[in-house]
Amino acid sequence: MADSKLRLVLMGTGPFAVPSFDRIADGPHEIVQVIVRPLPPVKSRGGPPPQPVADWAEERSLAVIRPDSINDDETVQQLRSLHADLLVVCDYGQILKPAALETAPLGGINLHGSLLPKYRGAAPVQRAVLSGDRETGVTVIHMTPRLDGGPILARRVTEIRDDETAGQLEQRLSAIGVDATIEAIDRLLDWDQESVIGDPQDAALVSKAPRLSKAEAQIDWQQPSRMIDCHVRGMQPWPVAFSFFHPGNGGKPVRVQIRQVTPIGDDASGDAPSQSQPGHLVSGDGLCVASGDGVLRIDQIQPAGKKPMTGAAFANGYQPGPDACFGATCGDAAVGGKGGTA
């Protein structure tokens, strides 16, 4: 485009979008509208959930609308009336259909929290941690009607740290995505709209990243130590990994959230794996549990209705017996992630 100043519509709701939107607002382009998801019904005394993009837009004195659907006829007409050049979408929560995308000559771009085509869907950051990936990144695509399927305009790669939760990684990726978003907008400035832009995604490498559920947060102690550690980190900040603690000696099971673990004595450290049944307590420094290939130390645990505490404090308080274990039951065949209730 000959004009180096674009009219932009920003679409986003959650915190992942804020750093990129903030950089855009400091740049040369004009933001003609900010669009966020509508507020859901209030179900508790805590009030409506936070909407970081709406709060950011208010601080910037930018106009905000909350259409029920970005694709209904009235909203599409409203988009057309803005005469925007480009739609910038991030952490919005609705899929734009062709009619909405066609309201801007340059279409739309979307900042996604994975190295597409890997982890298309609602929970790309969490799924990368849960899968034990060593690296991830962000991708900016030119949007098509197919979910996360458009050509790649920009990407950034980063290592997943061994102690990083999904929440911490998502915050870091949102910052990494800023430069990628600006790069994508700059590429479209020079696009003649007659040529193909971006790199096509490899359909053979597509994987899905569905939204997390509470039920899948339950820990399967038969998994290797590293994968249990990835599970604990990947389930934060929500829904948080959980298990059931059976104290032994006839005590009642306690539902616990497990917030931090450290693999010890597993194959990765070179030590011999534990011979105990997965989920059963083993001797060690602090609260130690057998996994499928070794031993984990539970560093932070939260019994239902109580505050988080160290594993050592938990053991001191609950005084586990010799047959104590974590899992759905303490039987030899069922101490993993199946059979319990969320």
- Condensed to tens digits (0 to 9), the pLDDT of residues 50-59 reads 899 999 999 9
When pLDDT is averaged across residues 36-59 and rounded to a whole number, the result is: 83
Band of residue 249 on the pLDDT scale cut at 50, 70, 90:
confident
Q: Which helix (H) or strand (E) holds 35?
A: strand 30-35
What the block records as the tokens of 298 is 């539970």
Band of residue 331 on the pLDDT scale cut at 50, 70, 90:
low
CA 17 – CA 31 distance, rounded (Å): 15
What the block records as the tokens of 153 is 């305009």
Is 117 within any annotated ligand binding site?
yes
What the block records as the tokens of 82 is 């803005």
Write the DSSP symbol of residue 278.
Answer: T
CB 304 within 8 A of CB 295: no
CA-nearest of 214, 243, 245, 209 to 130 is 209
| Identity of residue 78 | Q
Band of residue 102 on the pLDDT scale cut at 50, 70, 90:
very high
For the whole model, what pTM was predicted?
0.91
Alpha helices in 46-147 (DSSP H): 52-59, 73-82, 98-101, 124-130
Q: Which whole-number Å values give the CA distances from 78 to 13, 90, 128, 236, 316, in the listed order?
A: 19, 20, 37, 38, 62
Helix pair 18-25, 52-59: axis angle to 10 deg: 20
Higher-pLDDT residue of 161 and 196 is 161
CA 258 – CA 302 distance, rounded (Å): 6
Is 116 within any annotated ligand binding site?
yes
Band of residue 250 on the pLDDT scale cut at 50, 70, 90:
confident
Q: Which whole-number Å values give the CA distances from 270 to 266, 283, 294, 295, 304, in the listed order?
A: 7, 18, 10, 12, 35
What are the tens digits of pLDDT across the range 253-283? 999 999 999 999 743 333 445 568 999 999 8
- The predicted pLDDT at position 332 comes to 47
CA 102 – CA 138 distance, rounded (Å): 25
- The predicted pLDDT at position 330 comes to 74
Q: State what percent of residues in the chain have pLDDT above 90.
A: 80
Band of residue 193 on the pLDDT scale cut at 50, 70, 90:
confident
Rounded to the nearest 10°, the torsion over CA 123, 128, 132, 136 is -160
Write the DSSP symbol of residue 241.
Answer: -
Mean pLDDT of the chain: 91
The answer for residues whose C-beta is within 8 angstroms of residue 16's C-beta and 6 or more apart is 90, 91, 111, 113, 170, 173, 174, 177
What the block records as the tokens of 137 is 């990144």
CA 85 – CA 79 distance, rounded (Å): 11
The pLDDT of residue 342 is above 90: no
Alpha helices in 110-161 (DSSP H): 124-130
Higher-pLDDT residue of 287 and 335 is 287
Q: Which of 133-137, 222-226, 317-321 bottoms out in mean pLDDT, i.e. has the lowest?
A: 317-321
CB 263 within 8 A of CB 269: yes
- The predicted pLDDT at position 149 comes to 85
The answer for residues whose C-beta is within 8 angstroms of residue 140's C-beta and 6 or more apart is 109, 110, 111, 112, 152, 153, 154, 155, 177, 180, 181, 183, 184
List, in order of start, the domains of the chain with CATH numbers: 7-111+140-150+161-194 (3.40.50.170), 215-326 (3.40.50.12230)
